[in-house]
C-alpha cells in the first residue's frame, strides 16, 4: 500500500492524502521525495473553500436575453444556479444553433493550461475529443511559456522540444563543466513543477552535486533569488531586456581577442561572417564591445570582458531561462544563446554548449521517460484553423482581420462561442483589461472550473468539475520516469462532475455518444489506457502490475533511458551523417529563410532591439521595470485560495518586491499597500522591501486571482495580478509570442482606506423564476427565449 494513505499526483509532485468525514483535510509530500514542493499545502483549503463551484450556473443576462455580445456585463453580472439537465440542455441547444448558423469555425476552444496531471481526466484532451466528434473547433497553437523558442529555433538549430528532451544532463555538467553562465538565472522554484506529474524532485540534488564538484555559477538576472542559494552563484544584475546586449559584448570580446573557435564555426555553422560584421560594427558603425554593452545593460564593462575570457578558458555551459523570451523581441536571446555557445566551440562536448529552458520543468536535464504512457485519443479536428495562443484578444476584437505568422499572412476567424477548460486566461494572458473587452464579444462563453476564478466569472455557462483528487486516474509525466496512481480520495462536492460524464451527456443530446464513449465508462477507459501503458512498458523490458494492484499501490519508478546524455554530441561527431533539420543542416547563425521574410522585429541574425516601453513617449512617467515570475507558493494561479498561497500574501494582497532605496525615495515601508500603474491598468499589492531585486525594478509574482474593482474607473485589480499592467504586443511577426515581461510602471504608496479583496469569494447568485430547473427558484421548467444575436 501507499505510505500513510492514498496517493495523488500533481504537476508539483506526489502527495499523500488524508481524508476525514469524506473531505480532504491534508495533502502531504511523498516521504521518498528528497526535495518536495510545499504547494500540496494549498489543496485542502482550495478544494473546500468558499470559491468552490458546487452547481452549474448561468449568467443572468444570458438567460434573460439569450446569446449575444455581453456589452461589459461579463464579469460583474450575477449568476443563476441551475440543474445539470437545464445546463446541458441549454449548452446542447447553443452548440447546435452555432453549428447551423455559423459553422464549427465559429467555436474557439483555446483551452490551455496546466490542468490535471492525469492521463485520462485531462481537461483539454477531454474537451477536444468531444468537440472533434461534433464537427471541430478553432484551436490555438503554441504556448505562453516558450512559444518564441518553438517558433525561432527550428530556423536556427532544430525543433525546441528535441532540445528539451535531449538536454545535457546535470550529472554530466557536474562531472565536466567548469562554469555555468545563466542568463535569466535558474530559479529552483520553477524546477519544482513538471507537466503531467512528477515522481521525485531531483534538481536541488543535482545542483548541489555541481557545487560540490567545484562548478562555478554566474547568475545574470535582476532578481538574486533566480539562482538557488546553495550554489553560491555570482550575481550580475543587468537592466531587464538587455541580455542580448550583454551576450553581444561577450561575443565582441571573444572575436577581438581571438578566443572564438573558428574551426567549429566553419564546420558546424553557417552565416557567422554576416553576424560578425554586425558585432564589430562594420555593418552599422556601432561596435558591440564591452563598453557598449555596459552602457546598455548597466553592468561594468570590465566584468563583461573578463567573463568572456573565463568562458573561453574552460568548459562552459550557457543557460537561457524561458522567461527571457516572454519579453519584447524574445526570439533574440534564444538565437544569441546558440550563437555565443557556437563561438565558444563547445556544443556537443560533455559539460559545454547551451541549454534553453533549464528549470522551466523539473525534469529537463534531470531525467526522461523510457516510453509513452497511454492517453485518451482526441481524434482529428475537422476545422483546420488555429491561431497563435497569445492572440486570442486580437482574434475576438478583429474578426476577419489579418496577421502575419512565420512569413505568411492569415485571417482571424469570426468566433461566436469560446470554451475554456483546464486553464485560466484571466491569469496567464497579458493586458487583462484588453482581454476583458475582448471577452465581451462572443455570444456565448463556457467555462469548466473547480473554483470561481475570474475566468469563470466572465462566462455565461459555468460547469462545476471534479478535482484530480476526486476521481480515479494515473499520472505519467511527459518527461518524467515515474508512474503514479491517482485513486479517488473523496467524492466531488455538491453537484460537481467529471468532464467525461459531462461530454458523454452532451454527446447523447447532440448525437455521437457512442463515438465519444466507444461503449466504455470511465473505469473501462482507465483500464484500456493502463493496458496500453503495460504493453509499451513490456516492449522496453518493464513488467507492470495490473490496474487494480497499481491503483492501490505506490509510485513505480522506471529506468532512465539516457542518464549521461550530451546535447548534439551526435551532430558534433559527424555533422554530415547527422545533419540538423535546418536548411543548411548546420547551426544557422545567419538564416537566409528568416532574412527573406524582411521582418523589422526579427532580422536574419541575433540582434539587440530595445524594449518598447523603455523608448515610449511616456517612459519617464513609468520609471520602474515590472518583473513577474512563477511563485514558490502555487503553480501559476492554481489553488491561489489555498492555505500556503494565502499565508504569503501581504494584508491579503500579492507581495511586490521593492529595492530599499526605491522604497525610501517613495516613503514606502514594508507591509504598505502600494499601487502599480501605467496607461494599461492599475493594481494594488503589498510592499516587501528587499535587496534581492535590482534597483529600479519591481517584482510582482504571477497568479494572484484577478480581482477587478468595477466601481473604480480603471477597474483596478484589488489583489495584485501583474497582467493588468503588461502589454498585449507580440515578440515579433515571426512567432507572434507573448512579450509581457517588458512592461514599465509607476509606483506609489496608498494612504487611507483600501477596498477589500474579493477574489476568493463566489459571485452573487440570484433566483430567476423563469429559469428552467433553477436551483434557487424551484420554478416549473420553461425554456428562455433565444432571440437572434445582433449583427456585427
Q: What's the pLDDT score for residue 500?
A: 98
**DSSP code for 556:** E
Would you place residue 114 in the very low, low, confident or very high pLDDT band (cuts 50, 70, 90)? confident
pLDDT at 281: 98
pLDDT at position 783 is 29
First vs last C-alpha separation in the chain: 60
pLDDT category at 770 given cuts 50, 70, 90 is: low
The DSSP-derived string for 240-296 is TT-HHHHHHHHHHHHHHTT-S-HHHHHHHEE-HHHHHHHHHTTTTS----HHHHHHH
d(CA 270, CA 282) in angstroms, rounded, equals 19
Q: Is 337:356 a contact under the CB 8 Å cutoff?
A: yes
Is 112 a residue of the active site?
yes
Cβ 311 vs Cβ 345: under 8 Å: no
pLDDT band at 3 (very low <50, low <70, confident <90, very high): low
Average pLDDT over residues 187-201: 90
- What percent of the chain clears pLDDT 70, i.e. is strictly above it? 96
Average of pLDDT values for 27-32? 96
Q: What is the pLDDT of residue 784?
A: 33
The residue to which cell 493588468 is assigned = 724
- Of 362-366, 459-463, 490-494, the poorest mean pLDDT is in 362-366
What's the pLDDT at 616? Answer: 86
How many CB atoms neighbour CB 770 within 10 A? 16
Options 114, 170, 403, 530, the catalytic residue: 114
Instruction: Give 350-368 pLDDT, tens digit per residue.
Output: 999 999 999 888 999 999 9
3-state helix vs strand vs coil in the chain, percent to 5: 35, 20, 50
- pLDDT of 320-339, one tens digit each? 999 999 999 999 999 999 99
Residue 686 · residue 673 · CB < 8 Å:
yes
**Residue 743 predicted with pLDDT over 70:** yes
- Distance, CA of 317 to CA of 352 (rounded, Å): 5
The number of beta carbons lying within 10 Å of the beta carbon of residue 227 is 25
Asked whether the predicted pLDDT for residue 775 surpasses 60, the reply is no
Q: At what angle do helices 301-313 and 243-256 cross, to 10 degrees?
A: 60
User: Rounded to an integer, what distance in angstroms lies between the CA atom of residue 631 and that of residue 409?
Assistant: 37
For residue range 69-79, list pLDDT tens digits in order: 999 999 999 99
- Nearest alpha carbon to residue 557 among 539, 546, 547, 542: 542
Q: Catalytic residue at 268?
A: no
CA dihedral (207, 212, 218, 224) in degrees, to 10, reads 60
Query: Cβ(626)–Cβ(743) under 8 Å?
Result: yes
State percent of the chain over pLDDT 90: 91
Pairing of strands 57-59, 79-81: antiparallel
- Burial class from Cβ neighbours inside 10 Å (0-12, 13-18, 19+) for residue 501 reads middle
Residue that wins the pLDDT comparison between 113 and 752: 752
CA-CA distance, 556 to 554, in Å (whole number)? 6
* Reduced 3-state DSSP string for 169-181: CHHHHHHHCCEEE
**Is the pLDDT assigned to residue 614 strictly greater than 90?**
no
List, in sequence order, every residue forming a beta bridge with 408; answer none if it has no partner. Answer: 405
Kindly report, residue by residue over 589-605, the tens digit of the pLDDT. Answer: 999 999 999 999 999 99
Instruction: Check residue 789 and give its pLDDT.
Output: 35
The pLDDT of residue 4 is 60
CA torsion 545-547-553-559 (nearest 10°) is 50
- Which of 12, 62, 108, 112 is labelled catalytic? 112
- pLDDT for 769: 65
| Strand partners of residue 577 | none
What is the phi/psi pair of residue 548, to 5°? -65, -45
What are the residue ranges of helices labelled H in 43-120?
43-47, 60-65, 84-102
Amino acid at each position: 500500500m501507499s505510505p500513510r494513505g492514498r496517493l495523488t499526483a500533481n504537476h508539483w509532485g506526489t502527495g499523500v492524502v488524508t481524508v476525514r468525514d469524506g473531505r480532504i483535510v491534508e495533502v502531504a509530500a511523498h516521504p521518498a521525495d528528497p526535495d518536495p514542493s510545499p504547494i500540496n499545502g494549498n489543496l485542502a483549503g482550495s478544494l473546500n473553500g468558499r470559491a468552490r463551484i458546487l452547481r452549474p450556473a448561468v449568467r443572468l443576462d444570458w438567460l434573460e436575453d439569450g446569446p449575444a455580445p455581453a456589452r461589459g456585463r461579463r464579469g460583474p453580472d450575477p449568476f443563476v444556479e441551475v440543474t445539470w439537465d437545464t445546463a446541458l440542455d441549454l449548452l446542447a441547444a447553443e452548440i447546435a444553433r452555432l453549428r447551423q448558423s455559423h459553422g464549427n469555425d465559429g467555436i474557439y476552444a483555446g483551452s490551455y493550461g496546466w490542468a490535471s496531471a492525469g492521463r485520462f481526466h485531462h481537461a483539454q484532451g477531454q474537451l477536444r475529443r468531444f468537440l472533434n466528434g461534433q464537427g471541430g473547433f478553432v484551436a490555438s497553437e503554441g504556448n505562453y511559456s516558450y512559444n518564441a523558442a518553438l517558433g525561432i529555433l527550428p530556423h536556427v538549430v532544430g525543433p525546441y522540444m528535441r532540445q528539451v528532451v535531449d538536454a545535457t544532463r546535470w550529472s554530466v555538467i557536474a562531472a565536466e563543466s567548469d562554469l555555468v553562465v545563466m542568463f535569466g538565472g535558474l530559479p529552483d522554484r520553477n524546477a519544482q513543477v513538471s507537466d503531467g506529474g512528477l515522481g521525485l524532485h531531483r534538481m536541488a540534488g543535482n545542483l548541489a552535486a555541481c557545487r560540490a564538484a567545484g562548478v562555478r555559477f554566474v547568475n545574470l538576472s535582476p532578481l538574486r533569488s533566480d539562482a538557488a542559494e546553495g550554489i553560491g552563484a555570482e550575481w550580475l544584475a543587468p537592466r531587464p531586456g538587455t541580455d542580448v546586449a550583454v551576450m553581444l559584448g561577450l561575443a565582441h570580446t571573444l572575436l577581438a581577442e581571438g578566443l572564438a573557435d573558428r574551426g567549429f564555426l566553419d564546420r558546424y555553422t553557417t552565416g557567422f561572417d554576416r553576424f560578425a560584421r554586425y558585432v564589430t560594427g562594420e555593418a552599422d558603425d556601432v561596435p558591440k564591445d564591452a563598453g557598449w554593452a555596459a552602457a546598455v545593460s548597466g553592468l561594468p564593462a570590465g566584468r563583461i570582458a573578463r567573463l568572456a575570457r573565463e568562458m573561453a578558458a574552460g568548459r562552459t555551459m550557457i543557460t537561457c531561462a524561458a522567461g527571457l523570451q516572454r519579453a519584447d523581441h524574445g526570439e533574440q536571446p534564444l538565437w544569441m544563446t546558440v550563437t555565443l555557445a557556437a563561438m565558444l566551440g563547445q556544443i556537443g562536448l560533455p559539460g559545454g554548449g547551451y541549454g534553453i529552458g533549464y528549470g522551466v520543468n523539473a525534469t529537463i536535464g534531470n531525467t526522461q521517460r523510457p516510453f509513452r504512457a497511454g492517453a485518451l485519443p482526441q481524434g482529428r479536428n475537422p476545422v483546420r484553423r488555429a491561431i497563435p495562443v497569445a492572440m486570442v484578444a486580437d482574434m475576438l476584437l478583429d474578426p476577419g482581420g489579418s496577421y502575419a505568422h512565420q512569413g505568411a499572412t492569415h485571417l482571424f476567424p469570426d468566433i461566436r462561442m469560446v470554451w475554456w477548460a483546464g486553464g485560466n486566461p484571466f491569469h496567464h494572458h497579458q493586458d487583462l483589461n484588453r482581454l476583458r473587452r475582448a471577452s465581451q464579444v462572443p455570444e456565448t462563453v463556457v467555462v469548466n472550473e473547480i473554483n470561481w476564478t475570474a475566468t469563470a466569472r466572465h462566462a455565461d455557462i459555468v460547469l462545476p468539475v471534479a478535482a484530480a483528487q476526486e476521481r480515479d486516474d494515473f499520472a505519467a509525466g511527459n518527461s518524467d520516469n515515474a508512474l503514479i496512481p491517482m485513486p479517488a480520495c473523496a467524492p466531488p462536492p455538491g453537484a460537481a462532475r467529471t468532464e467525461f460524464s459531462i461530454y458523454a451527456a452532451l454527446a447523447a443530446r447532440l448525437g455521437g455518444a457512442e463515438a465519444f464513449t466507444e461503449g466504455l465508462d470511465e473505469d473501462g477507459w482507465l483500464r484500456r489506457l493502463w493496458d496500453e501503458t503495460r504493453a509499451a512498458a513490456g516492449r522496453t523490458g518493464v513488467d507492470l502490475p495490473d490496474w487494480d494492484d497499481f491503483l492501490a499501490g505506490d509510485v513505480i519508478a522506471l529506468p532512465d533511458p539516457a542518464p549521461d546524455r550530451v546535447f548534439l554530441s551526435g551532430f558534433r561527431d559527424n555533422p554530415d551523417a547527422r545533419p540538423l533539420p535546418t536548411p543548411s543542416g548546420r547551426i544557422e547563425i545567419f538564416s537566409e529563410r528568416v532574412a527573406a521574410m524582411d521582418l523589422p522585429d526579427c532580422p536574419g541574425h541575433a540582434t539587440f532591439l530595445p524594449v518598447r516601453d523603455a523608448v515610449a513617449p511616456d517612459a519617464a512617467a513609468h520609471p520602474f521595470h515590472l518583473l513577474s515570475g512563477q511563485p514558490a507558493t502555487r503553480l501559476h494561479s492554481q489553488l491561489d485560495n489555498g492555505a500556503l498561497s494565502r499565508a504569503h500574501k501581504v494584508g491579503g494582497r500579492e507581495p511586490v518586491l521593492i529595492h530599499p532605496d526605491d522604497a525610501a525615495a517613495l516613503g514606502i515601508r514594508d507591509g504598505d499597500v502600494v499601487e502599480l500603474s501605467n496607461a494599461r491598468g492599475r493594481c494594488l499589492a503589498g510592499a516587501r522591501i528587499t535587496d534581492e531585486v535590482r534597483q529600479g525594478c519591481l517584482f510582482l509574482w504571477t497568479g494572484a486571482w484577478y480581482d477587478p474593482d468595477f466601481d473604480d474607473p480603471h477597474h483596478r485589480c484589488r489583489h495584485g495580478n501583474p497582467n493588468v499592467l503588461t502589454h498585449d504586443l507580440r515578440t515579433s511577426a515571426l512567432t507572434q509570442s507573448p512579450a509581457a515581461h517588458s512592461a514599465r510602471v509607476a509606483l506609489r504608496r496608498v494612504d487611507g482606506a483600501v477596498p477589500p479583496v474579493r477574489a476568493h469569494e463566489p459571485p452573487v447568485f440570484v433566483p430567476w423564476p423563469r429559469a428552467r430547473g433553477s436551483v434557487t427558484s424551484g420554478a416549473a421548467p420553461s425554456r428562455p427565449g433565444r432571440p437572434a444575436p445582433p449583427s456585427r
